[in-house]
Amino acid sequence: MTPIDILTYMGIAMAGCALILFLMVVIQVVRRIMGLLTPAIPSISLPKTEVKKEQVKQIEPKRRTESMSKEASEGITFNDIFMFMIAVPLVLLWVGFAGFVIHTGLNNSAVLENIEAYTTLIAILGGPALLIIKDALDVWKQEQAEKTAFYKVKAQAVIDYNDASQKQAQMIEAKAQEQEHKIESGITLPAKKK
């Protein structure tokens, strides 16, 4: 199998991934449109009947944590799909093809004769792949900066807590010694007037 055949198969695989991504986007758009077009079900009013208090169940209010957990759990976004369907395969294709050309070039002189064509293909794939890698590294740097800032704040809070705890312990010890000194010297506090 020649490098051109392998590149052709990789191109077909990428086209298949792009088709799947396109179909997923179309399905999401159709779902949202159908959700907007579906009319609300009208409520039916039932005749009122007398109900004893024992029969009425107490309705517990919905806890805030339940609604917060639903809001906090995000669904799959378009960016997630884009990263897993396009960006990740593109970077892997670029690295894989570059490694394949290097390996084949060392073992096959025909590849070295057409090295300009291969380097052009690597450059074409490398442009978007490098942008994706750069963005991923920027996101990683931002996460690391946030972690560093968090740990600085946490460390300062621990230092402040230890300092306040030490001051409080010293104050308690000083008050205890002062009280002990007063008891030993026979000093009594004046009685409160009623």
Q: Is residue 61 part of a domain?
A: no
d(CA 33, CA 173): 72
Taking CA atoms, 6 is separated from 2, 54, 97, 188, in Å, by 7, 75, 9, 98
pLDDT of 63:
53
pLDDT of 25:
75
Q: Is residue 66 part of a domain?
A: no
Q: In the chain, how many domains are there?
A: 1
Give the global pTM.
0.44
pLDDT of 71:
47
pLDDT, tens digit, for every residue of 43-66?
555 556 555 555 545 555 555 555
Quote the Cα angle for 187-191-194, to 5°: 175
Task: Give every residue of the chain whose pLDDT is below 70, as ranges.
Answer: 3, 7, 18, 39-75, 187-194
pLDDT of 113:
84
Termini Cα distance of the chain: 107
Q: Which domain holds residue 144?
A: 3-37+78-185
Q: Is residue 108 part of a domain?
A: yes
pLDDT of 162:
94
Q: Is residue 90 part of a domain?
A: yes
pLDDT of 32:
79
